[in-house]
Amino acid sequence: MAAYPQDPGAPDAPYLAFWRERHLCTLTTLRPDGTPHVVPVGVTYDPGARLARVITDKGSAKVAHVLAAGPDGARVAVCQVSGRRWATLEGRAFVHTERERVAEAERRYAERYERAPSPNPARVVIEIELDRAMGRG
């Protein structure tokens, strides 16, 4: 994959293959003062739904930042790097607590990271409605 933008709903095969590999990612949210908050996370990418998903605890700072943005969601980015390869997905994030959405995010996490997430009754999912994708390989 060369440096170029991708269609987040229909990426090319190398870009999608890179997102299917097991990699630790980062999530960047904005604090109320506008400064970036960058944390390591597991991310799953669903181009058919134009979504990226991050499972987390409802009390986390990343959830607070997304909620603070209000009903229009928060602009965020997720990124993964492996050597000289990298891929970024951007969009609007929303926090969901519905059991079926959380379960779907957990299922996708287990598939990508080859292990089920540890039980957490306070788990929520941050769903990112994607509008931009880019990468370099």
Region of 83 please: left (phi>0), alpha (psi -120 to 50) or beta: left
User: How far apart are alpha carbons 91 and 127 in whole angstroms?
Assistant: 9
State pLDDT tens for residues 10-55: 999 999 999 999 999 999 999 999 999 999 999 999 999 999 999 9
State pLDDT tens for residues 72-114: 999 999 999 999 999 999 999 999 999 999 999 999 999 999 9
Is the whole model's pTM more than 0.85, yes or no?
yes
Three-state SS for 62? helix
Q: Dihedral angle at the C-alpha atoms of 49, 55, 59, 63, nearest 10 degrees?
A: -30
